[in-house]
Amino acid sequence: MRPADESALAGAIRAATGPLHIRGGGTRPVGRPVAGEVLETGGLTGITLYEPGSLTLVARAGTPLAEIEATLAADGQRLPFEPPDWGGLLGAKGASTIGGVVAANASGPRRIMAGACRDSLIGVRFVDGTGSVVKNGGRVMKNVTGYDLVKLLAGSWGTLGVLTEVSFKVLPIPESAATVILRGQAAGAAVQAMAAATGSPFEVSGAVWDGDDVLLRIEGFKDSVAYRAGRLTGLLAPFGGVEVEEGRATVDARWAALRDVTALGATPGDVWRLSVKPSDAPGIIAHMGAEAVQLDWAGGLIWARVPPGTDLRDRIGAFAGHATLMRASPEVRARIAPFQPEPAPLAAIAAGLRAKFDPRGILNPGLMG
């Protein structure tokens, strides 16, 4: 099913007699396989409001992310949280949609400065499991009131409701950018260097270790970028040789590849994503036996490629954080819980929310369980 508007989508959900597999652009096939009729949101397209002066954009959930980014770029603006495109990493076809970005709370390297997707989201419209249309938040920042369903829907993976419209605050694209590169660092030294950089007053907007080099992004006015890059070079000198890469196109291309984790996607294997305390990352990596690793968010996000069928949670043992199996065969995803099992109190809250928003249990049932 591919409804063309919100009313038709609500009707389809009300009329459903069994499970529904909710799908946006199909670029994020994460979670356990869902057995059910496919309900696509790709028919709900179009930017319904864009006010550059108010830094506000509203779009239907099925609108391609590329269309939104092109519209914003034409006015020198962007989504603050740098949404990644995991299609290549996950081996998925199709085009990423803005509703899929919100459903996954997908956020790129700029999260350390601008926050996650949910932090830029100011309003949502969605259809719950009964077929009722729900609106929360607003179309401008001053109208965000009431229960914060906006943040609840971000990262719910279509299990609480099917998004039909989303509203964002947007920001200007900085004039200039540079990448400060610290070559040849082990994981422990890399985390220390990233902590020093992000703890400095030099406004780092990206901090990644690619398994070898530390890469730090600086953005802003041209003179400010040059000054801050120079100061960071001095700050990081005790760790080794530092280089500065300039040129907007070069910097943007490098960070797009880091954002989309393309280095891990080029080779077969299962891919895991772990949210951890940055200081814990080196120790966790040491126990992984991973074939390839990338650290993002200054060490708070680990991407790891491992041999197919590896239960990484079992291999590394208990840790403070959570691990998500992002890429694996359907058979492996059926055997190993893709999402981190929840503690009993949290699981009870989650079950209560699903029962409230989807009392028939038809929206992506079993995807996160």
Domain ranges in the chain are 6-172, 176-259, 262-328
Contact in structure between 102 and 117 (CB atoms under 8 Å) = yes
DSSP 64: B
CA distance between the termini of the chain: 24
User: How much is the average pLDDT of 83-93?
Assistant: 90
Mean of the per-residue pLDDT values for the chain? Answer: 94
* b/e per residue 63-74 (b: at least 16 CB within 10 A): bbbebbbebbee
* b/e per residue 2-23 (b: at least 16 CB within 10 A): ebeebeebbebbeebeebbbbb
Distance, CA of 162 to CA of 13 (rounded, Å)? 9
Q: What tokens does 8 get?
A: 């038709």
Report whether pLDDT(138) > 80: no
The band of 147, judged by pLDDT with boundaries at 50, 70 and 90, is low
Quickly count: other Cβ atoms within 10 Å of residue 290's Cβ: 25
Q: Collapsing DSSP states into helix, strand and coil, what is residue 154?
A: coil
Query: Which alpha helices (DSSP H) does the chain contain, by range?
Result: 6-15, 65-74, 87-90, 98-104, 111-114, 117-120, 149-153, 187-198, 222-236, 248-259, 262-265, 281-288, 312-316, 330-335, 344-357
User: Residue 60's closest CA among 50, 39, 46, 49?
Assistant: 46
Report whether pLDDT(144) > 90: no
Characterize the bridge pairing of strands 242-246 and 204-209: unpaired
Report whether pLDDT(173) > 60: yes
Provide the pLDDT for residue 143: 46
Does 1.10.630.10 match the CATH number of domain 176-259?
Answer: no
Distance, CA of 32 to CA of 337 (rounded, Å)? 7
Distance, CA of 67 to CA of 48 (rounded, Å)? 13
Among 24-33, 67-76, 117-126, 274-283, whose mean pLDDT is lowest?
24-33
Characterize the bridge pairing of strands 77-78 and 133-137: unpaired
Do 176-259 and 262-328 show the same overall fold?
A: yes
DSSP string computed for 104-145: HT---TTHHHH--HHHHEEEEEEE-TTS-EEEEE-SSGGG--
Provide the pLDDT for residue 369: 74
User: Residue 46's closest CA among 26, 62, 23?
Assistant: 62
pLDDT tens string 220-259: 999 999 999 999 999 999 999 999 999 999 999 999 999 9
Quickly count: other Cβ atoms within 10 Å of residue 128's Cβ: 18
DSSP 97: B
Provide the pLDDT for residue 30: 87
pLDDT tens string 61-71: 999 999 999 99
Instruction: State the pTM of this model.
Output: 0.93
Provide the pLDDT for residue 113: 96
Pick the CATH number of 6-172 from 3.10.20.740, 3.40.50.300, 3.30.465.10, 3.20.190.10: 3.30.465.10
Contact in structure between 190 and 204 (CB atoms under 8 Å) = no
Report whether pLDDT(139) > 80: no
User: Residue 25's closest CA among 108, 92, 82?
Assistant: 92
Q: What tokens does 125 get?
A: 């419209």
Q: Collapsing DSSP states into helix, strand and coil, what is residue 192?
A: helix
User: How much is the average pLDDT of 141-168?
Assistant: 83
The fold of 262-328 is Alpha-Beta Plaits (3.30.70)
